Amino acid sequence: MMSDDNDMVSNPTNTPVFADVLAERLSRRGFIGIAAAGAATAMATSPLAISEALANGPTTLSFKEVKQGVDEKLHVAEGYDAQVLIRWGDKVMPDAPAFDPAKQTAAAQAQQFGYNNDFIGYFPLPFGTKNSDSGLLVVNHEYTIPFLMFAGMTEKTYLEQETPEHIEIELAAHGASVVEVRKRDGRWSVVDKSRFARRLTATSPMRISGPAAGHDRLKTKADLTGTRVLGTLNNCAGGKTPWGTVLTAEENFNGYFSGDPAKTKEAKNYARLGFAAKSRYAFSKTHARFNVESEPNEPNRFGWIVEFDPYDPNSVPVKRTALGRFKHEGATCVVNKDGRVVVYSGDDERFDYLYRFVTAGKFDPINREANRDLLDSGTLYVAKFSADGTLAWLPLIFGAQWLTPDQGFNSQADIMIETRRAADLLGATPMDRPEDVETNPVNGGVYLALTNNTSRKSDRLDKVNPRADNKHGHIVEMLPPGGMGKDADHTATTYTWNILLLAGDPANKADAPKYAAGTTENGWLSCPDNVAFDSKGRLWISTDGAQNAAKIADGIWACDVVGTGRALTKRFLRLPTGAEMCGPEFTPDDRTFFVAVQHPAEDEGSSYDKPSTRWPDFKANMPPRPAVVAITKRGGGTVGS
């Protein structure tokens, strides 16, 4: 995401920040599970202890680490191949023209792979199998960078330089792409003219469902029903439902709207979401719906989780309002032991919150159609962490506690539209940019990446808190009660929590990082963002912002979560300069690891005409291009071991 989004703080509450809670807990109980002795303690005292003994050595990860550094290329661990599978502008739809960066058109872009690929979801073909050699890749497209997409522009001048055609190209470059992919003789390819091929854009028709659907605050001149909307914006991470649909998360949607929000009836709502009078996009030049003074309700139609069926290219995407409206990062699903489905999502802004949605109905593994609207009914919760190591899930229900008309909430719809403000009133714990949340398939634990928070100052910390000006971030481990794996109760109102690691450079005492003993000079990381698990329950971490925070390129690190390898991170992949690592996704057999390379060359002063790298093509007539990369082990075998 763009740096101005990273720097935003819009939470006005004085609830103790997570750093206060962490400091108090560390001072009382000591740091659990970091050094080798701490790891042994964690295994002995928590359900993270897995009966299977570790393989030889302190870690189960056998690859040779990539060295720290920054240059114009992508580097993967020795013995692995990194194949560029699909790039911005590549063909998605059957009639898509070849990419010509000097002659871009909106019509072409609407049929080509979009910009800034973020989430990756692999869906086996046929549906319901675990086929790891043939499937659908669903990739969402977060945002556009005009001065890296179009000639003659710079970061300072692009808003004035953009023409109506530029704007239409950008709208078409948002959304999502669905492509069929196939592995033959160890190489992946995109299947041409697949019946599953699809492009969603910022103008694709979508439906609104759930508690807020049809509410007056979602009605506009173009949609008097409040149930139809054009497009999806700023999709950042996502998830896969047990019934084989995609959940894509709308994040920093506030930046697309111009006009003074203070002049609208939604002023308080928009202030809490960080709206400003000046947009970082030129969309309102040609589309009145992106000006809040012209269409004051249009922003209420964004900031949701969007569901669509990749197996049905004619299906209409649906914005599921029961999951709340905020700057969603991810939507990770797990089927609870009682059949209900739980969806975890972070609100990616400094001092904002972690959420969980629990469906009212139960997942039907036999009848796919029966799950079609499962996400329209249920309870949304927000997390409150305590210093004693417990986590309480607070329900966001109309009429309960402070969520009443005297606080401006007249229905459940109002709570879903202003989820942040409702969470403020319940006393949720402000976090350090809650990003991806993933569940471990082996131990049932829930892992949250907190990317950073340099806005956290010492006056909001107690004397023992080690992480003021937290520029490197950390990872929190949350343990539902009930047992490991499928026995974990993800609907329980109380969990326990630990810190898995505190990121930063061990050579810099001011960073005060915490890893396992044995972490090398190449193994430390900064700014964890998206995370994924392989089938062995090992954690794979992608980063966003390490180049700015730590002067090392973003990339992929991995570690065990139990034993002596717990929090012993190893660098697996290093990105080109300016790029962010996104979308880590394994095939079911762990033999392919898909990753998304976002915004290569987004360095200060870099532009289309003079980029800091021309990855992945390295041709004078080609700009840097976001791309999806397929990583496989040379000679076959599972990734990581």
**Bond preceding residue 296 cis, omega within 30 of 0:** no
Continuous H helices in 174-274: 267-272
Q: How many CA atoms lie within 13 A of 173 on its CB side?
A: 26
What pLDDT score does 457 carry? Answer: 80
Sheet holding 528-533, edge to edge: 75-76, 570-574, 555-559, 539-543, 528-533
- Structure confidence at residue 350 as a pLDDT band (50, 70, 90): very high
Whole-angstrom distance, CA of residue 556 vs CA of residue 570: 9
What pLDDT score does 17 carry? Answer: 45
Other CB atoms within a 10 A radius of the CB of residue 172 amount to: 27
Other CB atoms within a 10 A radius of the CB of residue 392 amount to: 17
Residues whose CB is less than 8 angstroms from the CB of residue 378 and which lie 6 or more positions away in sequence, other chains included: 322, 340, 357, 358, 359, 360, 361
Task: Give me 459's structure tokens.
Answer: 């006056």
Asked if residue 379 belongs to a domain, the reply is yes
- Structure confidence at residue 8 as a pLDDT band (50, 70, 90): confident
Give the SS3 label for residue 66. coil
Asked if residue 529 belongs to a domain, the reply is yes
Mean pLDDT of 432-445: 96
Structural domain count of the chain? 1
What pLDDT score does 464 carry? Answer: 24
| Cα-Cα end-to-end distance for the chain | 32
72-104 burial, b for 16+ CB within 10 Å, e for fewer?
bebbbbeebebebbbbbbbbbbeebeebebeeb
- Percent of the chain's residues with pLDDT above 70: 91
Other CB atoms within a 10 A radius of the CB of residue 180 amount to: 20
Q: Of 390, 567, 295, whose CA–CA distance to 557 is shortest?
A: 567
Asked whether residue 5 carries a pLDDT value surpassing 80, the answer given is no
Token look-up 């390898």 returns 565
Instruction: Write the pLDDT tens digit of every residue in 271-320.
Output: 999 999 999 999 999 999 999 999 999 999 999 999 999 999 999 999 99
E strands, 185-263, are 187-190, 198-200, 205-209, 228-230, 235-240, 246-250
127-163 burial, b for 16+ CB within 10 Å, e for fewer?
eeeebbebbbbbbbbbbbbbbbbbeebebeebbeebe
Asked whether residue 40 carries a pLDDT value surpassing 80, the answer given is no
Give the SS3 label for residue 24. helix
Q: Are 426 and 409 in contact (CB under 8 A)?
A: no
- Structure confidence at residue 26 as a pLDDT band (50, 70, 90): very low
Give the SS3 label for residue 567. coil
Asked if residue 290 belongs to a domain, the reply is no
Mean pLDDT of 457-486: 77
Asked whether residue 36 carries a pLDDT value surpassing 60, the answer given is no
Residues whose CB is less than 8 angstroms from the CB of residue 136 and which lie 6 or more positions away in sequence, other chains included: 122, 123, 125, 178, 179, 180, 181, 196, 310, 311
Rg of the chain (C-alpha set)? 23
Asked if residue 437 belongs to a domain, the reply is yes
Asked if residue 267 belongs to a domain, the reply is no
> Residue 349 sits in which domain range?
3-251+303-633
Asked whether residue 22 carries a pLDDT value surpassing 80, the answer given is no
Q: Which helix (H) or strand (E) holds 414?
A: helix 412-417
Whole-angstrom distance, CA of residue 257 vs CA of residue 234: 12
Other CB atoms within a 10 A radius of the CB of residue 520 amount to: 15
What pLDDT score does 9 carry? Answer: 78
Instruction: Write the pLDDT tens digit of every residue in 555-587.
Output: 999 999 999 999 999 999 999 999 999 999 999
Asked if residue 203 belongs to a domain, the reply is yes
Instruction: Write the pLDDT tens digit of every residue in 62-120.
Output: 999 999 999 999 999 999 999 999 999 999 999 999 999 999 999 999 999 999 999 99
pTM equals: 0.94
The amino acid at 319: K
27 phi and psi, to 5 degrees? -70, -30
Continuous H helices in 90-224: 106-109, 146-149, 158-161, 164-173
Q: What counts of helices (H) and strands (E) characterise the chain? A: 11, 31
- Structure confidence at residue 45 as a pLDDT band (50, 70, 90): very low
**Residue 361 per-residue DSSP state:** E
Mean pLDDT of 585-596: 98
Signed CA dihedral, 355, 329, 342, 489: sign only: negative
User: How much is the mean pLDDT over the chain?
Assistant: 92
The amino acid at 393: W
Asked whether residue 553 carries a pLDDT value surpassing 50, the answer given is yes
- Structure confidence at residue 11 as a pLDDT band (50, 70, 90): confident
Whole-angstrom distance, CA of residue 181 vs CA of residue 110: 20
Whole-angstrom distance, CA of residue 420 vs CA of residue 598: 28
Asked whether residue 458 carries a pLDDT value surpassing 70, the answer given is no
Other CB atoms within a 10 A radius of the CB of residue 31 amount to: 17
What pLDDT score does 28 carry? Answer: 40
Instruction: Write the pLDDT tens digit of every residue in 181-231.
Output: 999 999 999 999 999 999 999 999 999 999 999 999 999 999 999 999 999
Whole-angstrom distance, CA of residue 607 vs CA of residue 589: 40
Question: How far, CA to CA in Å, does 136 sit from each of 181, 238, 310, 560?
Answer: 6, 15, 8, 29
Comparison of pLDDT for 24 and 118, the residue scoring more: 118
Other CB atoms within a 10 A radius of the CB of residue 340 amount to: 18
Instruction: Write the pLDDT tens digit of every residue in 375-393.
Output: 999 999 999 998 898 999 9
What pLDDT score does 34 carry? Answer: 35
Q: Of 348, 373, 342, 351, whose CA–CA distance to 438 is shortest?
A: 342
- Structure confidence at residue 468 as a pLDDT band (50, 70, 90): confident
Comparison of pLDDT for 32 and 391, the residue scoring more: 391
What pLDDT score does 456 carry? Answer: 77
Asked whether residue 47 carries a pLDDT value surpassing 50, the answer given is no
Maximum pairwise Cα distance, the chain: 66
The count of residues in the chain is 641
566 burial via Cβ count (<10 Å: 0-12, 13-18, 19+): buried
Q: Which of 409-418, 466-475, 523-532 has the lowest mean pLDDT?
A: 466-475
Whole-angstrom distance, CA of residue 380 vs CA of residue 578: 36
Give the SS3 label for residue 426. helix
What pLDDT score does 576 carry? Answer: 98
**Bond preceding residue 616 cis, omega within 30 of 0:** yes
Q: Are 155 and 147 in contact (CB under 8 A)?
A: yes
Task: Give me 214's structure tokens.
Answer: 């049809």
Other CB atoms within a 10 A radius of the CB of residue 463 amount to: 7
What pLDDT score does 219 carry? Answer: 98
Asked if residue 443 belongs to a domain, the reply is yes
Comparison of pLDDT for 258 and 49, the residue scoring more: 258
Asked if residue 641 belongs to a domain, the reply is no
